[in-house]
Structure 1
Amino acid sequence: MRIALLATCLADAMFPDVAAATVTLLQRLGHQVVFPQAQTCCGQMHVNTGYFAEALPIVRHHVQTFEAAGVDAIVAPSGSCVGSVRHQHAMIARKGGDDGLAAAATDLSARTYELSELLVDVLGITDSAAQLGSYFPHRVTYHPTCHSLRMLRVGEKPLQLLSTVQGIDLVELPGADQCCGFGGTFALKNPDVSTAMLADKMAGIIASRAEVCSAGDSSCLMHIGGGLSRMRVGVRTVHLAEILAATKESAPAANPASTTATGNVGAAR
């Protein structure tokens, strides 16, 4: 299968190891991975903030770029960005009066997958250790991000993949379905509420006694990791893709967010 990588802004600018791990996984399974060089932001930040007109050319560019790639599927290590592609792009095109773009965006969105969706639903991965060689001998808890949980409804797919990683000790996260408080610009516009939500999320992570908190979105891991680093509790954040790509010969480094605080994320009460 020929698969295009939608790297996302955060992977491109801050967490390139997540994008690299996604490519590693797909190539390990024998698929051809292409990276459309012209790709940019998916436009989610603009749409969520109400800048529909400004988002229209971003959507048009995204559709043109990935249509030109000539691929069977598109994958992103982010439920948030895939959620934008599926639930916002066609809407933005229609509101902009471009029905042709809306149809093209709908067609493209049907071939766009969050990583766990692609692995489980499309590629049929049921045993991470046997089929991917995944090995991660650590106590891990998993945070299901809001967009993957509520917009994409990926359900148990990430947990299915993690549960079959060799050596892993996968533990339940108390209050797992509760938002971490990031929400993109929400954390900037509502810092006090965001910080309180983060505090609750970190309390659950600490209660799980996990060494690692994983998730399918770098944005949430950045937020959570920043808070945990300020608390100095010794818990690191690692993206789902990095855990699945880890083998006995290699191990993923902690997400930089676990050692580099940004914004208000560390001011947890």
Structure 2
Amino acid sequence: MKISLFITCFNDTLFPETGKSMVHLLERLGHSVDFPLEQTCCGQMHYNTGYQEEAIPLVRRFVDVFKNAEVIVAPSASCVGMVHEFYGKVAERSGDQALKNRVEKIVPKVFELTQFLVEKLRVKDVGAYYPHRVTYHPTCHSLRVLKVGDAPLELLRNVKGIDLVELPMAEECCGFGGTFAIKNADTSMAMLGDKIRHIKETGAEVCSAADNSCLMHIGGALSRQRSGVEPVHIAKILASTEE
């Protein structure tokens, strides 16, 4: 299968190693990988902050860039959630029937990484090896928008050498929420404090998730507290081997 990577602007700019891990993993599983250089922001930050008209050109660009893709995979439940949940609404707002048709055609091709592996490829053991104590934070978009369910945990349970420990109150938000963490800083920090306390209770060396945005928020607090816990995107764990 030829897979087109939608790396997202956040990962491309701040966490490029996540994209490299995806390429390594997918090629190891026998797939060819394409990275369209013309891709840019999905428009989520515009749409979520009230600039919905400004999101229209970004939706147009997305469907143009990926129009010939067989399947589109991203390491971000948040951005994939934007495509699935709101691209249709943006297209409707544009008043452009052709754009609406193109969005309807492309949305079913867009997957978050763990969702793609488990639901599309029917793979739960990717041949990974990661000898560390790990806990997993299910991000809000993966849980509540994409509804990926246990896909990430099923993949992690099959990683050789891993000591996977359950995160208490796992489904509670970490408090990031994009601009929510800025506009509602006190509330965000209170939520983050709860999340960090639960992570430390597990005794894990690593906290993993399907979104680097949440991991950045969590990782900042873990670092400030000198906890010794490292935030690691699930793609990096799944790409790791004994070699």
Runs (4+) of structure 1 exceeding 3 A deviation are none
Is 1:140–1:169's contact at 8 Å kept on the other side of the alignment?
yes
Match of 2:224 in 1: 230
**1:164 aligned residue:** 158
- Render the CA deviation track for 1:200-228: whole Å, top value 9, x for unaligned: 00011001111100000000000000000
Aligned partners of 1:72 and 1:199: how far apart in 2? 42
Code of the residue aligned with 2:179 in structure 1: it is T
Amino acid aligned to 2:83: V
Q: Could you tell me which of 155, 169, 176 is aligned with 1:175?
A: 169
Say whether the 8 Å CA contact 1:76–1:82 is kept in structure 2: yes
Rounded to whole Å, the distance in 2 between the matches of 1:60 and 1:220 is 27
Q: CA deviation at 1:122?
A: 1.0
SS of 2:56's equivalent? Answer: helix
Contact 1:86 1:106 survives alignment (8 Å): no
Partner of 1:262: none
Q: How does 1:36-185 map to 2 (within 5 A)?
A: 36-67=36-67, 70-127=68-125, 132-185=126-179
Deviates more, 1:238-247 or 1:93-102: 93-102
Q: Distance in 2 between matches of 1:188 and 1:109?
A: 30
**Between Structure 1 and Structure 2, how many residues are aligned?**
243
Long gaps (5+) in structure 1: 250-269
> Does the CA contact (< 8 Å) of 1:90 and 1:101 recur in 2?
no
Check conservation: 1:90, 1:103, Cα contact below 8 A: no
**When the two structures are superposed, what TM-score results if normalisation uses the length of structure 2?**
0.98
Q: Residue 33 of structure 2 aligns to which amino acid in structure 1?
A: V
- For 1:241, which of 231, 235, 238 is the aligned residue? 235
Q: Helix, strand or coil for the counterpart of 1:149?
A: helix
1:93-135 CA distances to partner (integer Å, 9 max, x unpaired)? 10121122122112111000000011011111122xxxx3200
Q: Distance in 2 between matches of 1:155 and 1:58?
A: 29
Paired amino acid for 1:100: A
Q: What is the alpha-carbon distance in structure 2 between the residues aligned to residue 169 and residue 61 of structure 1? A: 42
CA distance in 2, matches of 1:13, 1:214: 20
CA distance in 2, matches of 1:106, 1:29: 29
Instruction: Pick one of 199, 208, 212 that aligns with 1:218.
Output: 212
Structure 1 residue 209 and structure 2 residue 203: aligned? Answer: yes
Q: Does 1:15 align with 2:15?
A: yes
Q: CA RMSD in A?
A: 0.8
Partner in structure 2 of residue 35 of structure 1:
35
1:198 equivalent in structure 2 = 192
| Residue ranges of structure 2 left out of the alignment (5+ in a row) | none
Distance in 2 between residues matched to 1:61 and 1:166, nearest whole Å = 40
AA at the equivalent of 1:124? R
* Distance across 2 between alignment mates of 1:106 and 1:19: 26
